[in-house]
Amino acid sequence: MRLFGVILTTCFLVYHSAAYALSGYWHYNEFLDLNPEQKQLTISLANSVRLEPQPLQATQTRPVKISVIYPGQQVSDYWSRNIRAFELRLNELDIKYEIHQVFTRPNMDVRQQSLSLMEALKNKSDYLIFTLDTTRHRKFIEHVLRGRETKLILQNITTPVKNWAHQQPWMYIGFDHEIGTGMLVDYFKKTLPSHSPYSVLYFSQGYVSEARGDTFIQAMTEYPLVSSFYTQANQESAYKITLENLKEHPEIKLLYACSTDVALGAVKALKELGREDVLINGWGGGSAELEAIQHHDLDVTVMRMNDDTGVAMAKPLSGILKGKKYQRFIPGTLRSFPVRIHPSELKR
């Protein structure tokens, strides 16, 4: 039985981590160092998230039209919690809005995503909230960027795309994957005996796997990587892969999982094999992961602040309705610090 779980939590501060290769993107702090005006906007927004909401007190000629297309059909509750916090803050700001929300499956439902994006543009949504993970997402986004009427908010990414230097989205928002990975690297280097073999269970092919998986491998040079696998970004594929993986490589002492669903699928396989000696992490610190830590199924997770990112999306909308001219910017990412908590102390 695992003796305790560890939660690595977050707050709104700037964190300088070692910069590993993430092809085609500016690292978060690298971009801010190159663009001082963006750093000031970031600090301003981060500070505003801590403040009490100030109602709009301005006349709206019509409701703000918002389209949300999220890969929310997964065990991880990040996406649903994020949009809930966003709507609650819009209500607190007394902003009249209409929101059209579509939740799809990660790495799947490409046709549904495409249709929903085209519908958002056809209906001339004021704001489109989407994500960037696959090359298909990038093509959709570039189509949106060529237009002028819809402001694009990219969720779950804080590293600007270099090729979009002169046509960036209106906002990048989320927990920085490289920073979260750095926290997990630090934890495992303190916990895992030297030269212990490990394996990486990626999300599907794309940005999240690069930012969470590749940077982890680049940082764990003193530990032998014996295998790595792309999953279908769900529990079932991670479960099947883990069974075969440990059958072929029984020497593995750590399974590094790149998402909640992947971690919980691997946990199922570990329990079935009776491999409590294998360390495994979560990613995100949502309800399912906290429950897994309580049951001694996960050893550690990095927790992102869902409410903060939802609130941070709502604040600039209020500013624009008040007549402020916001530049495109990235909101403050989240510095994290470790907190060790015994499972019995966790409360849902």
Q: DSSP secondary structure string, 212-230? A: IIIHHHHH-TTS-EEEEEE
Average pLDDT value for residue range 200-208? 93
- 274 compared with 338, residue with greater pLDDT: 274
Q: Which helix (H) or strand (E) holds 130?
A: strand 127-131
The pLDDT assigned to 166 comes to: 80
The pLDDT assigned to 28 comes to: 85
Return the bridge partners of 153, or none.
129, 171
- 125 compared with 12, residue with greater pLDDT: 125
Neighbours of 60 (CB within 10 A): 12
The residues, ordered by sequence, that sit 6+ positions from 259 with a Cβ below 8 Å of its Cβ are: 74, 76, 203, 208, 212, 233, 283, 284
User: In this structure, which amino acid lies at residue 109?
Assistant: D
The domains of the chain, with CATH numbers, are 28-50+59-175+306-322 (3.40.50.2300), 177-301 (3.40.50.2300)
- 3 compared with 68, residue with greater pLDDT: 68
Give yes or no for residue 333 having a pLDDT over 80. no
- Left (φ > 0), alpha (ψ -120 to 50) or beta: where does 206 sit? left
- 101 compared with 336, residue with greater pLDDT: 101
The pLDDT assigned to 108 comes to: 55
Q: What is the pLDDT of residues 216-226, one digit of tens each?
A: 999 999 999 99
The residues, ordered by sequence, that sit 6+ positions from 138 with a Cβ below 8 Å of its Cβ are: 132, 161
Give yes or no for residue 332 having a pLDDT over 80. no
Tell me how far CA of residue 107 lies from CA of 73, 178, 232, in angstroms.
Answer: 11, 21, 7
Residue with tokens 């895992």: 192
Q: What is the pLDDT of residues 55-99, one digit of tens each?
A: 888 778 899 999 998 875 557 788 888 899 999 999 999 999 999
Enter the DSSP assignment of 10: E
Q: What is the pLDDT of residues 246-297, one digit of tens each?
A: 999 999 999 999 999 999 999 999 999 999 999 999 998 888 999 999 899 9
The pLDDT assigned to 319 comes to: 78
Ranking 16-25, 44-53, 82-91, 141-150 by mean pLDDT, the lowest is: 16-25
The pLDDT assigned to 343 comes to: 42
Measure the N-to-C terminal CA separation of the chain; round to a whole number of Å.
Answer: 21
Instruction: Answer whether 254's CB lies under 8 Å from 192's CB.
Output: yes
d(CA 42, CA 315): 12
Ranking 4-18, 242-256, 302-316 by mean pLDDT, the lowest is: 4-18
Give yes or no for residue 235 having a pLDDT over 60. yes
Which is nearest to 259 in space by CA: 277, 232, 293? Answer: 232
The pLDDT assigned to 107 comes to: 56
The pLDDT assigned to 48 comes to: 82
Ranking 78-92, 96-110, 132-146 by mean pLDDT, the lowest is: 96-110
The pLDDT assigned to 49 comes to: 82
Average pLDDT value for residue range 177-195? 93
Q: Which of 67-71, 77-81, 156-160, 232-236 is predicted most confidently?
A: 232-236
Give yes or no for residue 315 having a pLDDT over 90. no
d(CA 33, CA 85): 30
Average pLDDT value for residue range 120-147? 83
The pLDDT assigned to 44 comes to: 83
Ranking 66-70, 137-141, 180-184 by mean pLDDT, the lowest is: 137-141
Q: Which helix (H) or strand (E) holds 318?
A: helix 306-321
Question: What is the overall mean pLDDT for the chain?
Answer: 83
The residues, ordered by sequence, that sit 6+ positions from 193 with a Cβ below 8 Å of its Cβ are: 253
Instruction: Answer whether 324's CB lies under 8 Å from 48's CB.
Output: no
Instruction: Answer whether 203's CB lies under 8 Å from 264's CB.
Output: no
Q: How many residues does the chain have?
A: 348
- 310 compared with 319, residue with greater pLDDT: 310
d(CA 152, CA 159): 15
Which is nearest to 224 in space by CA: 182, 266, 253, 245? Answer: 253
Q: Tokens standing for 308?
A: 């903060």
Give yes or no for residue 20 having a pLDDT over 80. no
d(CA 32, CA 28): 7
